[in-house]
Structure 1
Amino acid sequence: MAAVALVLFGVYFAIAFGWRTWLQFRSTGDSGFRGISGRAGSVEWTGRVLFVVALVAAVAAPIADLAGLPTTDVLVGRPIQIAGVIITVAGIAATFAAQVAMGSSWRVGVDEAERTELVTGGAFALARNPIFTAMAVTGLGLVLVVPNVLGIAGLIGLVVAIQIQVRGVEEPYLARQHGNQWAAYSNRVGRFLPGIGTIKNGTT
């Protein structure tokens, strides 16, 4: 199943980054990418570097499997792998759908000088960060397809990166940019899942 995982990762990367970036550039003349910002060791820098590490681990895991790296026995089994493929495909579709729902506000990274529209409809009416939720689902699916130590480490790194980026960078930025609108939105909509992680009176 390692070859299947590589194909799924390639499809995910092509859609979530390649195709979405092309659509953004065609629509706005801007790729939407803001790069790795912040000084080395800062919250911004740490989150972005962990994202890169997680992506590298996701593609390295099936390659290592082909090279003979043992899998985690408790997760080995054809039904689990098939479930992993289904979960991965669902995660890819959900990632792209949430990215498209952002419209011209879609960005990879944060630029403090920018003020984009606060998107609260579609998937964003269910969770404040549906793209990151879908990314985590995709990562979980890939681990189930090829459950070795590299894949598991990459998934852990991805989850940590998401938490750092959302809690330490993106949501504070949105709070500064959108004030009362953000406060009302975060009060009623969960961070990653419906109803979980709402911010009431300044606390989650």
Structure 2
Amino acid sequence: MTTAALVLYVLALVVLFGVRSAVQHRRTGSTGFKGISGTPAEPEWWGGVLFVVAMVAGLAGPLMAVLGVTPIDPPAALQAAGLVVALAGFAATLAAQTGMGASWRIGVDSTERTELVTSGPLFGAVRNPIFTAMVTAQAGNVLMVPTWVTVAALTALVAAVQLQVRSAEEPHLLRVHGAAYADYAARTGRFVPGIGRLTRAAAGERAPA
């Protein structure tokens, strides 16, 4: 199962980042990658760095297990459940990326304005379904390969998406889309349905002047 976890993780990286960015470039002229924004003094910079750490550690976990560096012997049922969770997270991430269409980005460009996506089965329920799905997939990776490396990857990813969304993406979307995003944030959860909704007053306070 550790080999399956490694193959699935590599496949996910290729499809979700490599293939997706190639499709994005063909359609829009941009790969969608905006890089790590801010400076080390700003939380969004740490969000970007932690995201990279999470992706690398997520790959290193199953690779180290396959090589015998971190031997594991979890119950087969636990690994099977992890495979189901990881596949579900992978599929949901791909679906959410596709749902964003030309608005899909990795990182934030403060000078750029993209269409606000608020509809569909995923974006109609939560504001950040891609991140939710990625965390789900990483959780599946932990169940398949339960080592300190995969747990560290999941921890780094959760911290990364929290910093990225709260410190970079939400302020940017409030500045660019104003009341439209404030209304959207008031009726949908941040990562899970119903949790993390912003009141109009809170949205106004968080919008950059």
1:83 matched residue in structure 2 = 81
1:94 matched residue in structure 2 = 92
Superposed displacement of residue 2, structure 1: 1.7
2:70 matched residue in structure 1 = 69
Calculate percent identity across the aligned residue pairs.
Answer: 50
Which residue identity lines up with residue 135 of structure 1 in the other structure?
M
2:51 matched residue in structure 1 = 51
Whether the 8 Å CA contact 2:138–2:154 is kept in 1: the answer is: yes
Q: Aligned partners of 1:81 and 1:70: how far apart in 2?
A: 14
Q: Aligned partners of 1:109 and 1:201: how far apart in 2?
A: 25
Residue 22 (structure 2) pairs with residue 22 (structure 1): yes
Runs of 4+ more than 2 Å apart: 201-204
Residue 149 (structure 2) pairs with residue 150 (structure 1): yes
2:206 matched residue in structure 1 = none
Superposed displacement of residue 70, structure 1: 4.3
1:175 matched residue in structure 2 = 174
- SS, match of residue 201 in structure 2: coil
Superposed displacement of residue 94, structure 1: 0.4
Ranges in structure 2 where 5+ consecutive residues have no aligned partner: 204-209
Superposed displacement of residue 55, structure 1: 0.8
Q: Aligned partners of 2:82 and 2:181: how far apart in 1?
A: 35
Whether the 8 Å CA contact 2:183–2:200 is kept in 1: the answer is: no
Superposed displacement of residue 45, structure 1: 1.3
Superposed displacement of residue 14, structure 1: 1.0
2:107 matched residue in structure 1 = 109
Superposed displacement of residue 23, structure 1: 1.1
Q: Aligned partners of 1:195 and 1:143: how far apart in 2?
A: 26
- SS, match of residue 110 in structure 1: coil
Q: Aligned partners of 2:113 and 2:43: how far apart in 1?
A: 21
1:165 matched residue in structure 2 = 164
Q: Aligned partners of 2:146 and 2:41: how far apart in 1?
A: 30
2:137 matched residue in structure 1 = 138
Distance 1:29 1:86, change over 3 A: same
Residue 119 (structure 2) pairs with residue 118 (structure 1): no
Ranges in structure 1 where 5+ consecutive residues have no aligned partner: none
Q: Aligned partners of 2:107 and 2:62: how far apart in 1?
A: 28
Superposed displacement of residue 63, structure 1: 2.0
Map 1:24-39 onto structure 2 (within 5 A): 24-39=24-39
Q: Deviations over 1:115-138 (max 9, x none)?
A: 111100111111000000000001
TM-score scaled to structure 2, two decimals?
0.92
Superposed displacement of residue 197, structure 1: 1.0
1:184 matched residue in structure 2 = 183
Q: Aligned partners of 1:202 and 1:62: how far apart in 2?
A: 45
- SS, match of residue 102 in structure 1: helix
1:5 matched residue in structure 2 = 5
Which residue identity lines up with residue 142 of structure 1 in the other structure?
N
Which residue identity lines up with residue 69 of structure 1 in the other structure?
T
Superposed displacement of residue 155, structure 1: 0.4
Q: Aligned partners of 2:37 and 2:184: how far apart in 1?
A: 27
